[in-house]
Amino acid sequence: MKRLFVLPAVLCILYTACVVRAAPVYPPATVSMDLVKVSEHVYYVQGTPGVATDNQGFISNAGVIITREGVVVFDALGTPSLGDLLLKKIRAITDQPIVRVITSHYHADHIYGLQVFEKQGAEIWAPAGAEVYLTSENAQERLEERRFSLEPWVNETTRLVDPDRYLDKQESFRLGGVRFTVTPVGAAHSDGDQTLYVEPDRVLFSGDIIFEGRVPFLGDANSRHWLEVLERMESKPLAALVPGHGAAAADPDRAVTQTRRYLSFLREKMGASAADLVPFEEAYEVVDWSDFRDLPAFAEANRRNAYQVYLSMEAEELSE
């Protein structure tokens, strides 16, 4: 009679093992994360200043807009564990379904949490240009690097999530009485960026078009187009602006001006040196950086930013 129970028992063990292997493994993020209320419908979480591997990867912001018919999330943070923690924070104040995730751009610190929300059934919208990153060798190399530098929070279960839609023009939608406007702005900070405006709250999520209270990270940014985007942004009346990094700005004009001022300064100083064929090291050393030196991330980002702008303005000189 005992033999009759052997096969079911074995099958049960195998099934359980398969389920465990198939389920995503999100080691708990142990960082502090507070869902801060900005307006009637809008909340956000704020990462700390620093490099990508600091604070268990929690160095960027994400937004949450809660309506009576569902939730819209803006960006998904830099690890699945952080995405899972964000979901828990949302569930602590609402049981409304996660309807949509709007990504500001496809950089690792904003998208590795997407798989958590994909599993919730959320539709994912990305800006046109994000596919350039997704299909690049850099995307896979960055994921492998983060599996090492952010282990265990980025691990073998972490994957790049393709969006359901790429947006190449402005689009608005309504959910639960709230109007949302998504505006792709082209290649500025990344290969493709977009913002989210929430009405009637008059709150703008800027993504990494704005870095509040710290030095921006430029990477492969198109600083000339980035400045054009900032100039358009300055004309929009806002109650609050939530940046990709840093605290929500109650004075949006000042936040926009701060990022614009830094980029303009870089282009002015590095552009003049590139035009005069001054070597970068010499050009960098003679610049007075005192207006920005005390900002968070200056030591980590400024020299690389200056070099990127120097090279891009060399290319601009040659193309004219």
The CA distance from 114 to 76, in Å, is 5
Q: Are 62 and 86 in contact (CB under 8 A)?
A: yes
Q: According to the model, what pLDDT value does residue 312 have?
A: 93
Q: Read off the pLDDT band of 24 (50, 70, 90).
A: low
Give the pLDDT mean for 86-94: 98
Provide, rounded to the nearest whole percent, the portion of the chain with pLDDT above 90. 82
Q: According to the model, what pLDDT value does residue 99 have?
A: 99
Q: Are 161 and 124 in contact (CB under 8 A)?
A: yes
User: Which pLDDT tens digit goes with each residue over 143-182?
Assistant: 999 999 999 999 999 999 999 999 999 999 999 999 999 9
Residue 297 CB contacts under 8 Å (≥ 6 apart), including other chains: 49, 50, 51, 214, 215, 217
Q: Read off the pLDDT band of 26 (50, 70, 90).
A: confident
- Judge whether residue 251 has pLDDT over 80: yes
Give the pLDDT mean for 11-36: 68
Q: According to the model, what pLDDT value does residue 305 have?
A: 96
Give the pLDDT mean for 87-97: 98
- In sequence order, what are the beta bridge partners of 207? 243
Give the pLDDT mean for 36-40: 98
Give the pLDDT mean for 211-225: 92
Find the range with the poorest average confidence among 9-18, 65-74, 259-268: 9-18
Q: According to the model, what pLDDT value does residue 318 have?
A: 75
Q: According to the model, what pLDDT value does residue 269 have?
A: 96
- Judge whether residue 18 has pLDDT over 60: no
Q: Which domains, ranges and CATH numbers included, belong to the chain?
A: 27-252 (3.60.15.10)
Q: Read off the pLDDT band of 23 (50, 70, 90).
A: low
- Judge whether residue 12 has pLDDT over 90: no
Q: For residues 46 and 250, which has the higher predicted lDDT (pLDDT)?
A: 46
Q: Are 242 and 102 in contact (CB under 8 A)?
A: no
- Judge whether residue 37 has pLDDT over 70: yes
Q: Work out the number of other CB atoms within 10 angstroms of the CB of residue 179.
A: 13
The CA distance from 237 to 272, in Å, is 34
User: Which pLDDT tens digit goes with each residue over 275-307?
Assistant: 999 999 999 999 999 999 999 889 999 999 999
Q: Is 191 helix (H, G, I), strand (E, B) or coil?
A: coil
Provide, rounded to the nearest whole percent, the portion of the chain with pLDDT above 70. 92
Q: For residues 302 and 319, which has the higher predicted lDDT (pLDDT)?
A: 302
